[in-house]
A and B are shown apart, each in its own frame.
Chain A
Amino acid sequence: MQNQQQRFSFTGTGSEYFRIWIVNLLLTIVTFGIYSAWAKVKRIQYFYRNTWFNGSSFDYHGSPHAILKGRIIAVVLFGIYNVTVKVAPLMGLAIFALILAVMPLLVLKSFQFRLHNTSYRGLRFSFVGTLKAAYVNFILYPALAVVSLTLLSPLAQQRIKRYQHGNSRFGQTSFSFNAGVGGFFKIYFLTVLMTIVAILVVAAGVGFLVTHQSTMPAGNNPQQIMKFVAAAYLVLILLMFFVAPYVVSRTQNLVWNNTYLGPHRFVSALQARKLFWIFLSNIVGIILTLGLFKPFADIRLLRYHVDSMALQTEGDMETFVAEQSQEVSAVGTEVANIFDFDIDF
């Protein structure tokens, strides 16, 4: 049996995506946001159709009407909540609890919508997670994370990823996920450690400044407050540029290196160092161009993510890729109708 690695590749370009982005932005503005659903479909289609694996690209079939419907529902829910919270705060709280209670259902629906509308070589992906598990994974574990003051958040994260990756299917082939919680805890603790170091560095800096300007009266001085605000921003920037690439790359690698499609394992080889440069240059570019660099930034980041992915196959790749078949499902069309809306998170 031969083992081979087949890489994913991305062919979208920033300059091409910029033109699509700006035209759709204008259409969204002049239609007071309605066109944003069409713009979203095009954005995903542009990303998917430029993502290649073994000579074929992915495709997205989401209907703009479904997305628009989801957005209208979200806006209406939000409006109702906002109004009731003004009129009767207690009622608002009840509605908030209600929204929280249906949240796992909405997450499940959006997973189903996203995967059902994704195809490769004409075969659809699908999501078979149960509603009960959605409640456990999106309410129970996050609640545990909150109660434990985020100490258990790696567990919640692992459960959510396991739910998401372990319940996906491509045609008739199931995905599986076998990363334990250990890896998530390791990333979490190293992140906490790096954060503490970053805060200590900033605190030392602020301390230095304060002791060298001891003439300034302490207390409610606006300048003093400004200094602490600036210090807080510095912490944030430090976190973003040093810790975020680390967290993103390690988590992504951990999740995908433990995800299987049938017997074949995914490989993700993101490097924190490269991600750091992409993050940094993207932010600088976006600031210098007052936001116009955003589409280029999106493409650069996406390309790095896609290009870092591969599938390690047991046996012959071409045979595997060609031998998949569509799930024979009587409920296929019905499913499409029920899941005919998408809510963004």
Chain B
Amino acid sequence: MTSVAAFYYDGNSSERHALLLTPMHDGLELQGDQLARQVPFSAMRIAAKLGSSPRLIYFADGGHCEVTDHAAFERVLHEAGFDAHSLVAHFEGSWRYALAALLLCIACGLATIRWGLPWAAQLAAERIPYSTAHSIDVQAMRAFDQGLLQPSKLPTARRQLLQHRFETLVNESGLPQFPLQFRDSKPIGANAFALPGGTVVVTDDLVQLAGDDNNSDDEVIAVLAHELGHVKERHALRQLLQSSVVALAMTWYVGDISNLLAAAPTLLLQANYSREFETRADRYAVKMMRVEGIPVDRLADMFRKLESAHRTEPRQSSFGELFASHPATEKRIQDLYHNHADD
């Protein structure tokens, strides 16, 4: 007859009773030296299997049984017609399911990085006012000015003119006013970029690339409008937060961005905007250009000029700039007109 050895404790004393468990109809029979009982399944709770730790049966009267022979216990339960199957315990006992769980955990982790992190970064970025984020800009500009960027060599008149038009553009966009930063830089060439707090930097090479004709100022402004699109949607800040997960958690947690400051310049240098961010900034630029009465052609021309400039003179530094992650300039230009027609 099927049976399994067990220890019984009555719940009132620590005395241990050795006994045998045998199956009966819809219950178990306990047979020991000083004990003989028949207990229906309705008056007991059988704990789910947990690894190879002892199986436990808790009785309604406070006593319990401890069984170490898992296989024999399963046979007894089976014979008594008890379905002790636990799905989770089944998963926990199998390497195949453990491996599947591991892969799913990794998938969840990757999904968090792909979707959760950008979402959290956006939420956190929206909580940070421009005035606060501007301290990142100050820090970053200080670091950039130590070698990467040189003072601008453009004529003052040209700068003043562009500065004035930029201010008008910022006013139209409803963003806080921070002066346009002119810089000269060999390593990054013809470029413009926006910092998290709303500071926009434009290089001498970019202004010179636009040329000296009637359209050239419009072309520069078109590029700046694109950069303001990044500012408006907090792309730089979101990117910065995403690339520093720990800092993001801290920002989320304490609402304090001071710990971001130290790491910001390095992280900003490495940041490449996603295609989506660029498209959104392009759309914003087109919208602003319409307000300013600048034809879309100006931005399209600039894209072509920038592309050929960067093709002949490859970039030395990967930069969170205008031309970091767009292989298909023509496609992008087509989208400019497409979006324009849509509006």
User: Is B60 part of the contact surface with A, judged by Cβ < 8 Å?
Assistant: no
CA gap between A57 and B47 in the complex, in Å: 15
Inter-chain contact B105/A42, CB cutoff 8 Å: no
In the complex, residue of chain B having the shortest beta-carbon distance to the beta carbon of A30: B108
Which stretch (A16-24, A128-136, A138-146, A304-312) binds chain B? A16-24
Residues of chain B at interface, number, CB under 8 A: 34
User: Is A280 part of the contact surface with B, judged by Cβ < 8 Å?
Assistant: no
When A42-B50, A56-B7, A322-B13 are in contact, do A22 and B98 touch as well, CB less than 8 Å?
yes
Inter-chain contact A46/B91, CB cutoff 8 Å: no
In the complex, residue of chain A having the shortest beta-carbon distance to the beta carbon of B99: A22
Inter-chain contact B50/A29, CB cutoff 8 Å: no
Inter-chain contact A86/B9, CB cutoff 8 Å: no
User: Is B316 part of the contact surface with A, judged by Cβ < 8 Å?
Assistant: no
Inter-chain contact B14/A25, CB cutoff 8 Å: no
Inter-chain contact A22/B13, CB cutoff 8 Å: no
CA gap between A171 and B13 in the complex, in Å: 8
CA gap between A293 and B53 in the complex, in Å: 21
User: Is A49 part of the contact surface with B, judged by Cβ < 8 Å?
Assistant: yes
User: Is B342 part of the contact surface with A, judged by Cβ < 8 Å?
Assistant: no
Q: Which residues of B contact A322 (CB under 8 A)?
A: 13-16
CA gap between A122 and B9 in the complex, in Å: 6
User: Is A276 part of the contact surface with B, judged by Cβ < 8 Å?
Assistant: no
How close is A227's CB to chain B, nearest CB, in angstroms?
A: 15
Q: Which residues of B contact A122 (CB under 8 A)?
A: 9-12, 14, 62-64
When A46-B53, A57-B66 are in contact, do A23 and B95 touch as well, CB less than 8 Å?
no
Q: Which residues of A contact B51 (CB under 8 A)?
A: 12-13, 16-17, 19-20, 46, 50
Chain B 47-67 interface mask (CB, 8 Å, partner A; 1/0): 000111110100000111010
Inter-chain contact A325/B12, CB cutoff 8 Å: yes
In the complex, residue of chain B having the shortest beta-carbon distance to the beta carbon of A57: B54
Q: Which residues of A contact B108 (CB under 8 A)?
A: 26, 29-30
User: Is B102 part of the contact surface with A, judged by Cβ < 8 Å?
Assistant: yes
Inter-chain contact A22/B50, CB cutoff 8 Å: no
User: Is B292 part of the contact surface with A, judged by Cβ < 8 Å?
Assistant: no
Inter-chain contact B101/A326, CB cutoff 8 Å: no
In the complex, residue of chain B having the shortest beta-carbon distance to the beta carbon of A52: B54
User: Is A11 part of the contact surface with B, judged by Cβ < 8 Å?
Assistant: yes
CA gap between A288 and B15 in the complex, in Å: 47
How close is B45's CB to chain A, nearest CB, in angstroms?
A: 11
Inter-chain contact A59/B56, CB cutoff 8 Å: yes
When A12-B51, A16-B52 are in contact, do A121 and B14 touch as well, CB less than 8 Å?
yes
CA gap between A276 and B271 in the complex, in Å: 41
User: Is A321 part of the contact surface with B, judged by Cβ < 8 Å?
Assistant: yes
Inter-chain contact A56/B255, CB cutoff 8 Å: no
When A120-B14, A122-B64, A323-B14 are in contact, do A11 and B52 touch as well, CB less than 8 Å?
yes
Inter-chain contact A123/B14, CB cutoff 8 Å: yes
Top 5 closest A-B pairs, CB basis? Answer: A122-B9, A49-B53, A324-B14, A19-B98, A121-B14
The 6 sampled A-B contact pairs (Cβ below 8 Å) are: A18-B98, A20-B51, A122-B62, A171-B14, A321-B14, A324-B13
Residues of A with Cβ closer than 8 Å to B? Answer: 11-13, 16-20, 22-27, 29-30, 42, 45-46, 49-50, 55-57, 59, 86, 120-123, 171, 222, 292, 321-326
